[in-house]
Amino acid sequence: MIDVQAVLPGEVPPVLFDPITLRSLTIPNRAWMSPMCMYSAAPAGPDTGVPHDWHYSHLAARAAGGAGLILTEATAVSAEGRITPWDLGLWNDRQERAFAHISHLLTLHGAVPGIQLGHAGRKASTDRPWRGGGPVAPADGGWPVTGPSPLAFDDGHPVPHELTTEEIQRVVADFAAAAGRALRAGFRVAEIHGAHGYLIGEFLSPHSNHRTDAYGGSFANRIRLALQIADAVRAVWPDDLPVLFRVSATDWLTENPGDERDGWTADDTVRLAKELHAHGIDLLDTSSGGNAPRARIVPTPGYQVPFAARVRAETGMPVAAVGKITDPRQAEDILTSGHADAVLLGRELLRDPYWPHRAARELGARPTWPDQYAYAL
Catalytic residue numbers read: 198
- For residues 255-265, b (16+ Cβ closer than 10 Å) or e, as one string? eeeeebebbbb
3-state secondary structure of 2: strand
**What DSSP state is assigned to residue 45?**
S
**What DSSP state is assigned to residue 373?**
G
Question: How far from chain centre, in Å, is Cα 215?
Answer: 23
3-state secondary structure of 135: strand
Q: Give the Cα separation of 133 and 124 in Å (integer).
A: 10
Q: Give the Cα separation of 343 and 340 in Å (integer).
A: 7
Sign of the C-alpha dihedral, residues 195, 197, 199, 200? positive
Q: Give the Cα separation of 34 and 72 in Å (integer).
A: 8
- Please provide residue 230's backbone torsions phi and psi, each rounded to the nearest 5 degrees: -60, -45
Q: Give the Cα separation of 146 and 307 in Å (integer).
A: 29
Q: Give the Cα separation of 70 and 57 in Å (integer).
A: 13
Terminal C-alpha separation, the chain: 13
3-state secondary structure of 106: helix
Sign of the C-alpha dihedral, residues 148, 149, 151, 157? positive
CA distances from 121 to 3, 36, 197, 248, 273 (A): 43, 18, 8, 15, 22
Q: CB neighbours (10 Å) of residue 34?
A: 24
- Please provide residue 69's backbone torsions phi and psi, each rounded to the nearest 5 degrees: -130, 130
